[in-house]
Amino acid sequence: MNEIGIDSLSLADFMPLTQAMVDQIAFMIQKSGTSSAGPAQVGTEAYFHQTMRTHTYFEQNVQLMQQNGKPIGAYFFSFAWDYASAKYEAELECDHLNALQYKPDWPVFCDWEQVSRNAVVAAGFPITQQRMLDIFRGWKDGCVGKGYYPGFYSGAAILRDDLGASNVQTLRNEGMYCWEAHYKVQQPWILPVDVWQYYAGPKDVGDDWMGTVVDWNKVMDDRIWNLGPGPGPGPGPGPSSSIPIWLKLKMARSENNGKCTILL
């Protein structure tokens, strides 16, 4: 199976997954929609009054993946600055998924990146290990309360310098799943992690795959393949794959430049 991914701007809002695409991927983590809040609302009451816009082809893509017995997860681009804001985000995302009658086979990830960090610092909140633990634990409690597996995503620098390797493992031991972005290296900075986003962009293999830009990921811990129904209430999961393959697709929107990608 090829290590390839798909441009998510196309797949999120302008074109659906095709069977030919699904045949070449093992699993998907898909952004279900876009929230109405952003950096300007960090630290304000307005942040707690968001709405969600569902991506045009989200449900169609989910159905095709499930029809092919391939597991899927979801993620939410976060600007959380503390426990309460992260818990709110998780509940917002899970309620959105629940309204769509979609329960992922895999975790729902809190996507907390450098742009998230910049917004939180700009709003006057210093970044400490305790703050990072509070954010991810808030996300965990929000997801578990709604019946979804919790995960967290960030780059190696944030996981290393802001959260700390020991705290990554603490969160994993508490039931979270870690997805680390670290490019052009032989292995993730932190081991073990659950998913490693190991390359961003198709520069070494051409400009597109089926007309799309690619980013690549690998599963690094088999425990994520063994997930069953979520830990609480909610609609039942779709069929999952029993094949131990490690490619993955992430449908993502880059909040820095407005460009969307899907990553395998």
CB-based contact 123:81 (threshold 8 Å): yes
Strands (E), the chain: 28-31, 33-35, 52-54, 72-77, 108-111, 150-155, 177-181, 195-200, 214-219, 249-253, 260-263
Residue 261 pLDDT greater than 80, yes or no: no
Q: What is the pLDDT of residue 201?
A: 59
Q: Where residue 61 falls among pLDDT bands split at 50, 70, 90?
A: confident
Output the average pLDDT for the chain: 79
Phi, psi of 28, rounded to the nearest 5 degrees: -145, 140
Q: Which of 34-38, 116-120, 206-210, 243-247 has the lowest mean pLDDT?
A: 243-247
Alpha helices in 68-206 (DSSP H): 83-99, 114-122, 129-146, 156-157, 165-173
Q: What is the pLDDT of residue 208?
A: 55
Q: Where residue 113 falls among pLDDT bands split at 50, 70, 90?
A: very high
Q: Where residue 84 falls among pLDDT bands split at 50, 70, 90?
A: very high
Q: What is the pLDDT of residue 187?
A: 83
Domains by residue range for the chain, with CATH: 8-32+55-263 (3.20.20.80)
The whole-angstrom distance between residue 75's C-alpha and the CA centroid of its chain comes to 3
For 215-252, write each residue's pLDDT tens digit: 677 888 889 888 866 665 444 333 333 322 323 333 33
Q: What is the pLDDT of residue 184?
A: 81
